[in-house]
């Protein structure tokens, strides 16, 4: 045990031996591990869970509070936070107590134990490779255990990777230079030949700025090839919650089309969108007014990235859909709106939603693990309970009226729903859903009751913006969030987009329809992997082939 590297190897899914021992209450095994490798008490798995997080997560069951106490006595650090492993349904990095069940007594007991052992010296954060077999084998356990957490070993594969990255960067630089030279030569040749009006160069041969002069926009798609409709390729665009500080940095640096897109966006928006995406701060990027335009552009930037890497994939796309805000990105890609009109509409939508969200105290709550009829009962019971409480309160005239808004707003994947509404009603839904056996309830990091009647004022503002936009027939079939089926024609698009703000999003229906059509080569275009996690719960076969084009 002291010398065998295999014993200490961390499995990519289950964590290291210390995580296994904690999860399965193997106290003797845990004791032996910490005697031989004390640093393992703060070892993190792929989600950032330490043994303390594992014990806290199961603390409502017999024996796990005792494990929590034992780990604290061994120097476990309760201030360690996880990764942001579920940014849409359960966002944020969490301490051990924050992953524990929200039942009051359990968390109170854990806080008591943390106070009890507050003076125990905390073991330092271990190096990430204390569970890596090759590191343990090549350098020996004692050496690896002694590495500080920020140590960067000179691994041979790391040197090879650095060389490969440098070579690829140089190849991209040369390719860009050759492409720019070719474009410049074609433009010069066109100007010199003074060709007739009908002989303009194809759109694909022009720079982005020239494309705009030719009445088209970046990231829209040309008319599909004759056999595209039979293709299994579908493009999916994520919604608000996928934004991440740093996104677009590499895409804008490497792709002139993305840089031009960002410049055009900044001109329309009146601020430097790329700077907000790359440098944040996070609080600013997470603001609805900034997050929605940023994600709209990021989705189209991902199209340009994929187009540069695999133009045939972009040309073969046969279906498009977007989650909430992503629906606008999908419509622009499909050619139903120009980039400029789409961004202006998205800006109006974001600002109007932010303004509507400021009128009162409301938000959104994810609920996982309940059948729809059970969740609907919880929602209805919560509305009645809060309405009765407001009716008896002399403060009921403050903020909203006595009418309670609370409804299921997002049908994301099987038993994965988001309830939207007034804050007091959501608190009641969380309590009732937990009692009914929900696996998880969590408030989302949004400030409004999106997709409910609380967004009525935003809907009215959006209608005006849509009236000023030119909307044409999509070149590719686009799924509507409101119906879970195709937009039937261009005339139906404005009403459906306006309705989306106050209606549930039928995303699970969209994913199931795509699978039923045989569109099993799905691409998520945008930062993070919001949609892949949902697709996995609808079809394991589709998830196995699912691809992400990330610009984070």
| Token code pair at residue 509 | 């229906």
Q: Spot the catalytic one: 260, 451, 480, 503.
A: 451
Let me know if 31 is a catalytic residue: no
CA atoms of 292 and 114, how far apart (whole Å): 40
Q: Which residues contact 26 (CB under 8 A, 6 or more apart)?
A: 20
CA atoms of 40 and 496, how far apart (whole Å): 54
DSSP letter (8 states) at residue 430: H
CA atoms of 75 and 49, how far apart (whole Å): 16
CA atoms of 302 and 314, how far apart (whole Å): 11
Query: In terms of Cα–Cα distance, which of 308, 266, 321, 246 is closest to 482?
Result: 321
Query: In terms of Cα–Cα distance, which of 53, 93, 86, 89 is closest to 71?
Result: 53
Q: Spot the catalytic one: 324, 366, 480, 503.
A: 324
Query: In terms of Cα–Cα distance, which of 412, 420, 273 is closest to 357?
Result: 420
Let me know if 32 is a catalytic residue: no
**CA end-to-end span of the chain, whole Å?**
41
- DSSP line for 46-106: TT---HHHHHHHTTTSTTHHHHHHHHHHTT--TT-------TTTS-S---HHHHS-SSSHH
Query: CA 437 → CA 55, 82, 455, 528, distances in Å?
Result: 20, 25, 30, 29
- Count how many Cα atoms sit within 13 Å of the Cα of residue 62 in the half-sphere of its side chain: 0
- ∠ CA 20-23-28, nearest 5°, is 70
Active-site amino acid positions: 324, 451
């Amino acid at each position: 045990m002291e010398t065998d590297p295999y014993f200490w190897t961390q499995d990519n899914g289950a964590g290291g031996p210390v995580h296994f021992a904690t999860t399965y209450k193997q106290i003797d095994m845990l004791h032996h591990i910490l005697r031989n490798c004390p640093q393992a008490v703060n070892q993190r798995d792929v989600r950032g869970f330490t043994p303390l997080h594992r014990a806290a997560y199961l603390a409502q069951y017999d024996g796990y509070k005792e494990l929590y106490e034992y780990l604290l006595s061994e120097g476990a650090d309760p201030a360690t936070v996880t990764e942001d492993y579920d940014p849409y349904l359960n966002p944020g990095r969490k301490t051990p107590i924050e992953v524990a069940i929200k039942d009051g007594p359990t968390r109170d007991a854990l806080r008591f134990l943390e106070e009890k052992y507050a003076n125990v010296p905390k073991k330092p954060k271990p190096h990430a490779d204390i569970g890596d077999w090759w590191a343990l084998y090549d350098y020996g356990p004692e050496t690896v255990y002694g590495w500080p957490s920020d140590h960067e070993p000179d691994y041979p594969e790391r040197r090879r990777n650095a060389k490969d990255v440098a070579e690829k960067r140089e190849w991209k630089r040369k390719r860009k230079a050759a492409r720019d030279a070719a474009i410049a030569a074609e433009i010069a040749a066109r100007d010199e030949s003074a060709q007739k009006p009908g002989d303009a160069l194809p759109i694909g041969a022009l720079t982005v700025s020239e494309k705009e002069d030719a009445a088209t926009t970046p990231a829209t798609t040309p008319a599909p090839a004759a056999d595209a409709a039979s293709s299994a390729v579908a493009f999916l665009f994520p919604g608000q919650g996928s934004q991440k500080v740093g996104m677009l940095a590499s895409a804008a640096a490497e792709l002139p089309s993305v840089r031009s897109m960002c410049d055009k966006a900044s001109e329309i928006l009146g601020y430097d969108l790329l700077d907000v995406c790359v440098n944040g701060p996070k609080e600013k990027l997470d603001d609805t007014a900034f997050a929605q335009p940023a994600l709209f552009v990021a989705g189209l930037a991902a199209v340009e990235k994929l187009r540069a890497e695999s133009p045939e994939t972009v040309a073969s796309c046969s279906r498009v859909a977007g989650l909430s805000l992503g629906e606008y990105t999908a419509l622009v890609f499909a050619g139903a709106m120009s980039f400029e009109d789409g961004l202006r509409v998205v800006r109006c939508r974001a600002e109007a939603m932010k303004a509507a969200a400021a009128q009162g105290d409301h938000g959104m709550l994810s609920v996982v693990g309940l059948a729809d009829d059970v969740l609907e009962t919880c929602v209805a019971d919560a509305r009645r309970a809060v309405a009765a409480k407001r009716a008896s309160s002399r403060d009921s005239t403050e903020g909203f009226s006595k009418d309670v808004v609370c409804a299921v707003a997002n049908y994301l994947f099987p038993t994965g729903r988001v309830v939207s509404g007034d804050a007091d009603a959501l608190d009641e839904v969380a309590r009732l859903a937990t009692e009914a056996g929900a696996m998880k309830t969590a408030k989302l990091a949004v400030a409004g009751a999106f997709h409910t009647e609380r967004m009525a004022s935003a809907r009215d503002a959006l209608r005006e913006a849509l009236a000023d936009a030119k909307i044409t027939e999509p070149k590719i079939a686009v799924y509507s969030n409101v119906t879970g089926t195709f937009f039937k024609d261009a005339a139906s698009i404005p009403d459906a987009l306006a309705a989306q703000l106050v209606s549930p999003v039928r995303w699970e229906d969209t994913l199931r329809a795509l699978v039923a059509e045989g569109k099993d080569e799905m691409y998520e275009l945008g930062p993070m992997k919001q949609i892949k996690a949902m697709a996995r719960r609808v079809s394991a076969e589709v998830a196995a082939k699912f691809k992400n084009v990330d610009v984070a």
